[in-house]
Every structure is written in C-alpha cells, then in structure tokens.
Amino acid sequence: MKKLLCLFVCGGCYAATTFDFDPSKTRIDFTLHDPLHTVHGTFTLKRGNMQLDPATGKASGEIVIDVPSGISGSSPRDKRMHKEILESQKYPEAVFTPDHVRGQIAPEGTSEIDVHGSFRIHGADHEVMIHFQVQANGSQFIATGSFTIPYVKWGMKNPSSFLLRVDDKVEIDVRAEASQKP
C-alpha cells in the first residue's frame, strides 16, 4: 500500500514521500455472512503513515487498527467477538505493513494500485495484497480498497454454533484519507 501510494502520488518524482493517515477520516468496515443475515461492523484506525520511494517501489510504515474498537451493533455479539474470536485484550492491534506497490498514483484524479504487505492480526503475520482506488487532489488522497480475511485459516475461532452458521471469512472494506508531507 505504501509503495502504491508513493507511486500514485509522486508520479515521475524520485524522492521518497511520506503520507499521514487521518484516523478521524478513515473507516474500516467488516462484513460477515451467514445464511439468515449479514453482520456489518466497523473498526477505527489508531494511527497510520507510509513512506514510499517511487524510484524503487519500496514502501515502509504501518497502518494500525484499534481491534477493541470493533463494533457490530449487538453488544452480546461484540462481547463474544472480542473475548473469544479476536481476543482483543491479548491482541489489541492489527497492523498492515506494506512492502511493495504495483501501479502508479497520478498527481491528480483517480488511479488504481495493488499494495502488497504483511497483515498482523491475532499475533501472527499474513501476506496480503490489497487493491486500492486512489483519488488525488493536491496533497490530499482518498484510498478505497478491500480484502478478505480467512480468519479461521488464520487461527481464530469460528463463532458458528449448532443453529447459527457463519462464513469462515470476513470481508474488509477500507476508506482512508491521507495527506502528503512536504
């Protein structure tokens, strides 16, 4: 994601660029399907910054999600989600660390990039690729993207019961606003 943002923002420049994400203007939504209904919820961004080098495509920095902030609109479900599935007290942060970006970010308008990196959740690192659409307007950027977390495969408990069957994957949608540091 970092590399992707750098290439998108910098276009033809060759200096490394830093982007700071605004937690108050960033949304991390999740969707979990089951046969009877779909559960929607949100997490908040704790902090985020990315350094991108357009000459090499390398990226660094981190995007930190506040795991205990996760809500789905049902207090009993949220309590179980935090205690039994996410173990939020033990693992209070989920962190995306980008390392590679494919595509370029135009200095103005809309661009598309693919950001590769590591997503640490529930105490383990997992390789992910996230496709983003980036809207540039001066030094302000809005990136929207989505990816799927196969949470059961990644070692988290499936909340299914005898009567309730949920998918073993959760969809994550991100809308992040960032500003470019001079």
Would you list the domain boundaries of the chain? 2-180
Confidence at residue 110, expressed as pLDDT on a 0 to 100 scale: 96
pLDDT number for residue 138? 87
Partners of 115 in beta bridges: 101, 130
- Report, at the CATH architecture level, how domain 2-180 is classified: Beta Barrel (2.40)
* 168 burial level (CB within 10 Å; 0-12, 13-18, 19+): middle
**CA 28/CA 121 separation, integer angstroms:** 14
CB atoms within 10 A of CB 153: 10
CA angle 130–94–140, rounded 5-degree value: 55
Position 113 scores a pLDDT of 86
Predicted model pTM: 0.87
Along the 182 residues of the chain, how does pLDDT read in single tens digits? 443 344 344 444 446 678 899 999 999 999 999 888 899 999 999 999 988 777 788 889 999 999 999 999 999 999 999 999 999 999 999 999 999 888 777 889 999 988 999 999 999 999 999 999 999 998 899 999 999 999 999 999 988 877 778 899 999 999 999 998 76
Q: What does residue 121 show for φ and ψ, rounded to 5 degrees?
A: -145, 140
Whole-number pLDDT of residue 15: 61
Token pair, residue 85, equals: 């599935």
Query: For position 153, what pLDDT does the model report?
Result: 95
CA 46 to chain centre: 12
Cβ atoms 167, 32 nearer than 8 A: yes
